[in-house]
Structure 1
């Protein structure tokens, strides 16, 4: 098994403007939305967010701010074609 280590700042900067899934550290919660921005502390802002708890999605408001210390991982969502 090989491990691919990447620098997180350019990785997140390259994700701005794309659909992402943000998994939280606690209570099996994830958020899906378009990544609007990230700061130097890795706090992130999503537009058109959906909250996903135990597989059930709920549409939220227009924007969502997530503090970095709550994030387990961020991954880009790939559109199915």
Structure 2
């Protein structure tokens, strides 16, 4: 799921970057922030689920998934910054 979200976000950012009609750097960064914020909310939910899990293996898996979602959010923001820098 995290890979799909990252690919979709990257594709959306590339589409915005390639669009000659609206190459606004602010729009790219705002869209990336929305995607990254959603990924971080999912990570928070997974952390909460891990805290409530009675099985240690399940809790570890959820915590790892949350870490991956946070890393994906960071990657989305970094990619957006790079695209926005190229638009300016």
Q: TM-score range by the shorter chain?
A: under 0.3
Scaled by the length of structure 2, what TM-score is found?
Answer: 0.22
**Which has the larger strand fraction?**
1
RCO (CA 8 Å, sep 6+): is it higher in 1 or 2?
A: 2
| Larger-Rg structure | 2
**Which has the larger helix fraction?**
2
Scaled by the length of structure 1, what TM-score is found?
Answer: 0.23
